Structure 1
Amino acid sequence: MILAGIYIHIPFCRQKCHYCNFHFAVSQRNKSLLIDAILLEIDLSKDYLDNRSIQTLYFGGGTPSLLKPSELESILQKIHSVYRIETGAEITLEANPDDIQPGYLNDLKELGINRLSLGVQSFDDDILQLLNRSHNAKDAIRSIQNIVDAGFDDFSIDLIFGMPGSDVDSWKKQLDQALEFPVPHFSFYNLTVEKRTALNHLVKTKQVILPEEEIMARQFSFTHSYMAEKGYEHYEISNYALPGRYARHNTAYWKGEPYLGIGPSAHSFNGISRQWNIANNGRYINSIQQGFLPFESEWLTPEDHYNEYLLTRMRTMWGCELDDIRNMGNVFERHFLNNIAPYLGDGRVIAQEGNFSLSLQGMLFADAITSGLFFHE
């Protein structure tokens, strides 16, 4: 039987990062009401996953580490009362470095949280200030040491490349700082300028100058080779792990396994449909209090299934299997083979025994390649 995952969105942050366009609020005035609504939604959504056992839980945000241990405990107890949680399930909490203190870590372990995703982003204080992060470099280093000392052997660190004024050498210093610790997993993201963010304004008004695309491409390529030297597998465009230490929750996303999203703006997928909760805390709370799930949904067509398979699998080292596409129908197989030929010819896609995956050069053009393979009627 296919297992499933649960994502819980905690939409609160201490302050607004200049690059972030996720759904969150800096006011925690309604935090207790929202947690009560999350507990009710877990009950209201219990049939969505069709009685599947749960293999991963993921607290994302926002900043889930702003929750007190007692608040996390209430959510975990509710999930355990409604769902069958597999023995050895991966339970992840996203955290900011300034929240990671020894006592808090001990509380997390007692609650059964066994994996942390730490939003370091940079070890450069000037960059952290530019991004309006709430921690500094010393906080970041101290938090990683606290995680190691607390006995968490499963954790991930987020870092951002493509920072203003950066080059390959300065990026290598960021990697080396992180690699001083026994980190089993990394997520590396290119600094992206999103609409309606402070960073977008700073770039548009030329108060911030981003590196040329060629420099960011060099940083990306250097990361691939340097992390391989250090024993890490580049298993998804933005993710590296020691062998066998992949993020199970996100890997399930990329492999098309079902998941339930709880909380405002959270998305869900059960194999035949996709739904997403309203991205407004007040309206979310009011709807749940009245016994209604505040979501929109769409049924997935065969074309949607094909396109989503490409969108997720082409990002990973596992790539796309021709047998999987063939099982979707002859029309998709013909379309795929016809449209992937140019990328095979220029080396951006590698074919091996019916498997198709991006080369390192192809990863730099992942979005364009994938959209070029999409099926449109």
Structure 2
Amino acid sequence: MSGIYIHIPFCKQACHYCDFHFSTNKDLMEDMVDSICLELEQRKDFFQKGDAVKTVYFGGGTPSLLSKHHLERILEKITTRYSLDLEEVTLEANPDDLSTSNLQNWKALGIDRLSIGIQTFNPEILKFYNRAHTAEESLKAIESAKSTGFEKLSVDLIYGFPSTNHDLWKRDLEIALSQNPRHISSYCLTVEPKTALGNWHKKGKYKAASEDFAAEQFEILMQSMEDAGYVQYEISNFGKSDQFAIHNTNYWLGVPYLGIGPSAHSFDGKNRGSNIANNAQYIKKLKTGESIYAKEILSKEDAANDYLLTSLRTIWGTDLTYLKDYSGYDLADLKKDTFKMLRQEKLILEDTNKIILTKKGRLLADSIAESLFLP
């Protein structure tokens, strides 16, 4: 099985915490959709013969800016050029784009999961993020999606906004849970270079929350989700037992996926690669037949570390037998001192030759993976 990820590099507005382009120029959007369809055509042999596409994910930027016609063209290209056994088609959407007509159009096109970028219900923080929607629009968007028949609904939240206490974050979680979405994704606000927030931080205009403060909010998140009956199937993703996002799950489990669009990443099961990031160059090179994709050949060590980093974030953990068969390395033997320390610190569980992070360990997922990396 496999998945297709369509990266849409446009936003309605410039957000302080990301670096997406924020043009809504209709001609440029049309050129981009033409190019995405052309790339889908050119890369139709990316997957192995007989490998059916299980998921399609429209993400990055603001895919909900695409018209019904644009989405229809892209989906038609996928339908006619790829072997399909679709289980899920996801669209990331801004709350202010969830009009009745849009929701009905998306439903008619076969989109069955919505990931709504709410971020926060606090008006002041929304202004800081430079978001176009209000808290009231977020609540209305959730209600409208439900009434249109979208049972697979994910609410996206951001934690780690600097404050004197955790009241704002607790309130966000309280409001989100009151809406009873089947899925919640939550990510920490981080300062990235080449973003407005990164520049503010560099100039001393913004002071990020401390690591301890963000960790405390993550602990509040985990406990709140557990109390509400959600399963933390991946570090940042929580779902009711029958509502795990299939595309997300497959990504963390190492299922091959084809990334389409500027700066989109792909994984063929062995090696990774990425597309050129510049919009204009992406469009131009596709038209002239030049390569827009750079493949990264992974060594056995790199592939093993890649698997460690992703699988360790999940509820299913890292399969040491698979890792040994795949890479030839016996991690339990090579890293026995590290394993001993991780057990003593109650950061991991070992179950039938698997490493699974404890709740305490989830706070340190990346550093634990790094401590287990092969040289």
Q: How does the TM-score come out when normalised to structure 1?
A: 0.95
Aligned residues of 1:332 and 1:375 also touching (Cα < 8 A): no
Q: Partner letter of residue 347 of structure 1?
A: K
SS of residue matched to 1:47 = coil
1:259 offset after TM fit, Å? 0.5
SS of residue matched to 2:329 = helix
SS of residue matched to 2:178 = coil
Aligned residues of 1:5 and 1:55 also touching (Cα < 8 A): yes
Aligned residues of 2:301 and 2:327 also touching (Cα < 8 A): no
Q: How does the TM-score come out when normalised to structure 2?
A: 0.95
1:166 offset after TM fit, Å? 5.8
The reply on whether 1:343 has 2:332 as its aligned counterpart is: no
After superposition, where does 1:276-315 map in structure 2 within 5 Å? 276-315=274-313
After superposition, where does 1:68-87 map in structure 2 within 5 Å? 68-87=67-86
Distance in 2 (alpha carbons) for counterparts of 1:197 and 1:68: 28
Distance in 2 (alpha carbons) for counterparts of 1:178 and 1:279: 34
After superposition, where does 1:315-334 map in structure 2 within 5 Å? 315-333=313-331, 334=333
Q: CA RMSD in A?
A: 1.5
Q: Partner letter of residue 334 of structure 2?
A: H
Aligned residues of 1:164 and 1:208 also touching (Cα < 8 A): no
1:214 offset after TM fit, Å? 2.4
Aligned residues of 2:320 and 2:330 also touching (Cα < 8 A): no
After superposition, where does 1:24-103 map in structure 2 within 5 Å? 24-28=21-25, 29-51=27-49, 52-87=51-86, 89-103=87-101
Distance in 1 (alpha carbons) for counterparts of 2:211 and 2:181: 28
Q: Partner letter of residue 16 of structure 1?
A: A
| Aligned residue number for residue 119 of structure 2 | 121
The reply on whether 1:363 has 2:359 as its aligned counterpart is: no
2:142 to 135, 141, 144: 144
Distance in 2 (alpha carbons) for counterparts of 1:346 and 1:271: 33
Distance in 1 (alpha carbons) for counterparts of 2:106 and 2:58: 12
Distance in 1 (alpha carbons) for counterparts of 2:158 and 2:81: 37
Aligned residues of 1:306 and 1:332 also touching (Cα < 8 A): no
1:245 offset after TM fit, Å? 1.1
SS of residue matched to 1:331 = coil
Report the number of matched residues: 372
1:206 offset after TM fit, Å? 4.0
Between the aligned residues of both structures, percent identity stands at: 41
Distance in 1 (alpha carbons) for counterparts of 2:300 and 2:119: 38
Q: Partner letter of residue 293 of structure 2?
A: F
1:343 offset after TM fit, Å? 1.3
1:159-213, Cα deviation, whole Å (9 max, x unpaired): 0111122633321211111112230111111111111211123334443333333
SS of residue matched to 1:8 = strand
After superposition, where does 1:100-111 map in structure 2 within 5 Å? 100-111=98-109
Distance in 2 (alpha carbons) for counterparts of 1:369 and 1:209: 27
After superposition, where does 1:178-327 map in structure 2 within 5 Å? 178-327=176-325
Poorly superposed stretches of 4+, deviation over 6 Å: none
List gaps (5 residues or longer) in structure 1.
none
Aligned residues of 2:122 and 2:168 also touching (Cα < 8 A): no
SS of residue matched to 2:224 = helix
